[in-house]
Chain A
């Protein structure tokens, strides 16, 4: 016991940090418990005394849930690829070049992050309505790329800023032309940043409800499905999928990070 207090005195910041982390994980624990729990009535979303594995065995039993998941994953993948490519190019331009209009470009990238999702979503909807673009998969992709783009630019830019410019000079000095320097030195060194940016886009896109709600028309993403179901009682399979995606992403990110760390050991 004495030891514990001693540890706490030395590590109270860490202890507080872990408590905050526990707060972040509390709802996830509840989601997990709910996925193992049979509700007392259709509308009930509280824990009952009945435990079951049914929902984990048949996660797509409720109609529409599998389709919604597929749509969400599809949109997230397409939007992530587009946002990552476009954002990485922009980050390169802004971190590696001085040019006229650089400040304007900075503001243009920052503004979407500073705009609330309702405003982003509603103004895009107004544009689509005016242009008579049918709402659906692609309008959602357009919207998601828009808000992921800024996050990609910021993330990749930070990585580029931490890169020693002398490494590129050394490559050029060793007979690598501009393209080879990019391909052999810059890109491999920036890749962890790009991967982090892609991961962030993926999660932002998969998670988004507000902007999607404005621009999806009749297309139902997973968050849209949950929203719709919330009115008539949420099927517990939603919790299965929530937990499963969380675990999958967690393991994936962890593996990528650990592999990256072992491979690079840059520091």
Chain B
């Protein structure tokens, strides 16, 4: 893979603050790679180091077989789509897009600009001023301005953050289409987990300057590496449990006096203290008074909240050991959702469970991860 972008042991300190901590990362050529994390996790700093706008304190950045760690930004075959677009207000759209071409003395500038405007579906916009364009249009121009240089890596710094939801969806599809069309490596920084999953073929979840987990969106979602990832990418119900034994390919677990089963293949740890996890949409609820089907993991509880969200209903139930558990139920059949106060049994296939390591000292409560069970907070 001659053109992979490889970061090795990269650390960035600002004064005493460590923004990026010994980060190593490989972005395969031609991939759509998302760096996902909350604000302040170091993802933008990482991007800026790849762009050359910051210099790493320690570590190297290589592009193919070239070391670009200390190269000035204008010497790297890398272009950026900035968060606020950073279009030059004193130049028209045509000149904005032509900026990089002119600096490198390329020919056929006008033709290339027109072609790019075609690609981002703004043909004939050359003579407009950035201030005359809507946010979505500015975003496309910023993309065209970077792509026209045919960079080996395109960096996108929260490029859709300023757009409203509908436009965002539309641009996500568009970006994906363009990436497939031009085949350039895209390194996309975002805090929006849905956006990352929608668009990227590889997602890296970042936290406190480090990468927690990296992989295909489905792999990370289905089998997260730790409680942070399990709740940053989607939500999870996590129960403090101990491994009691093994039966065939399954682990036997005890949690709060009840027995559970989970496939050993979906366990990060096969002995001692663990978290038993399950995604809310994998869980079903029995009708009141009915028993749960055999061969399932079950938890009894009382509904405390019912939230009807159109495509699904999101339930919150309180377990006998006073933990909140969330359950998403697709609204496939007609009928009223269950009312709060109803006693129900929540059940799920053991194969949908996953098991995470629970080192001593991390407590039995899951409050720090379940503070927002309905996913209301951004």
Chain A residues within CB distance 8 Å of chain B: 164, 166-167, 169-177, 180, 184-185, 188-189, 263-267
Give the chain A neighbours of B80 by CB distance below 8 A.
Answer: 169-170, 173
Give the chain A neighbours of B129 by CB distance below 8 A.
Answer: 265
Contact A173 B90 (CB under 8 A): no
Interface flags, B298-332, vs A, CB<8A=1, else 0:
00000000000000000000000000000000000
Give the chain A neighbours of B103 by CB distance below 8 A.
Answer: 174-176, 180, 184
Contact B53 A169 (CB under 8 A): yes
Contact A188 B104 (CB under 8 A): no
In the assembled complex, B231 has its CB within 8 A of some CB on chain A:
no
The distance in angstroms between the C-alpha atoms of A168 and B79, with both chains bound, is: 14
In the assembled complex, B125 has its CB within 8 A of some CB on chain A:
no
The distance in angstroms between the C-alpha atoms of A166 and B51, with both chains bound, is: 13
Contact A164 B53 (CB under 8 A): no
In the assembled complex, B216 has its CB within 8 A of some CB on chain A:
no
From the candidates A164, A173, A267, name the one contacting B79 in the complex (CB within 8 A). Answer: A173
Stretch at the interface among B81-89, B277-285, B366-374: B81-89
Give the chain B neighbours of A173 by CB distance below 8 A.
Answer: 51-53, 73-74, 78-80, 146
User: Closest chain B residue to A175 by CB distance?
Assistant: B103
Contact A174 B131 (CB under 8 A): no
Q: How far is the CB of B97 from chain A (nearest CB, A)?
A: 10
The total of Cβ contacts below 8 Å across the A-B interface reads 72
In the assembled complex, B72 has its CB within 8 A of some CB on chain A:
yes
Contact B149 A175 (CB under 8 A): yes
Given contacts A180-B103, A188-B90, contact A172 B74 (CB under 8 A): yes
User: Closest chain B residue to A192 by CB distance?
Assistant: B90
Could you jot down 25 A-B contacts, CB within 8 Å?
A164-B84, A169-B51, A169-B82, A170-B80, A170-B88, A171-B88, A171-B99, A173-B51, A173-B78, A174-B79, A174-B99, A175-B104, A176-B99, A176-B103, A177-B72, A177-B74, A180-B103, A184-B99, A184-B103, A189-B90, A264-B90, A265-B131, A266-B89, A266-B90, A267-B131
Interface flags, B87-115, vs A, CB<8A=1, else 0:
11110000000011001100000000000
The distance in angstroms between the C-alpha atoms of A188 and B100, with both chains bound, is: 17
Query: Which positions 320-356 of chain B face chain A at CB distance < 8 Å?
Result: none
Chain B residues within CB distance 8 Å of chain A: 51-53, 72-74, 78-80, 82, 84, 86-90, 99-100, 103-104, 129, 131-132, 145-146, 149
Give the chain A neighbours of B73 by CB distance below 8 A.
Answer: 169, 172-173
Q: How far is the CB of B69 from chain A (nearest CB, A)?
A: 16
- 4 further A-B contacts with Cβ under 8 Å, apart from A184-B99, A265-B129, A266-B131, are A173-B53, A173-B146, A175-B149, A184-B103
Q: How far is the CB of A92 from chain B (nearest CB, A)?
A: 18
Give the chain B neighbours of A174 by CB distance below 8 A.
Answer: 74, 79, 99-100, 103, 145-146, 149
The distance in angstroms between the C-alpha atoms of A173 and B86, with both chains bound, is: 11
Contact A170 B86 (CB under 8 A): yes
Given contacts A169-B73, A173-B73, contact A185 B88 (CB under 8 A): yes
User: Closest chain A residue to B90 by CB distance?
Assistant: A188
The distance in angstroms between the C-alpha atoms of A75 and B367, with both chains bound, is: 75
Give the chain B neighbours of A169 by CB distance below 8 A.
Answer: 51, 53, 73, 80, 82, 86
The distance in angstroms between the C-alpha atoms of A156 and B80, with both chains bound, is: 29
The distance in angstroms between the C-alpha atoms of A2 and B227, with both chains bound, is: 71
The distance in angstroms between the C-alpha atoms of A188 and B80, with both chains bound, is: 22
The distance in angstroms between the C-alpha atoms of A264 and B79, with both chains bound, is: 26
Give the chain A neighbours of B51 by CB distance below 8 A.
Answer: 169, 173
The distance in angstroms between the C-alpha atoms of A189 and B90, with both chains bound, is: 7
The distance in angstroms between the C-alpha atoms of A164 and B130, with both chains bound, is: 15
User: Closest chain B residue to A176 by CB distance?
Assistant: B103
User: Closest chain B residue to A263 by CB distance?
Assistant: B90
Q: How far is the CB of B93 from chain A (nearest CB, A)?
A: 14
Given contacts A171-B99, A172-B73, A265-B131, contact A166 B88 (CB under 8 A): no
The distance in angstroms between the C-alpha atoms of A264 and B52, with both chains bound, is: 30
Q: How far is the CB of B78 from chain A (nearest CB, A)?
A: 8
The distance in angstroms between the C-alpha atoms of A172 and B146, with both chains bound, is: 12
Enumerate the 7 nearest inter-chain pairs by beta-carbon distance, A residue then B residue, closest first: A174-B100, A175-B103, A170-B86, A172-B73, A166-B86, A266-B89, A175-B74
The distance in angstroms between the C-alpha atoms of A177 and B104, with both chains bound, is: 11
The CB with the most chain B CB atoms within 10 A, among A172, A188, A266, is that of A172
The distance in angstroms between the C-alpha atoms of A164 and B90, with both chains bound, is: 13
Give the chain A neighbours of B90 by CB distance below 8 A.
Answer: 185, 188-189, 263-264, 266
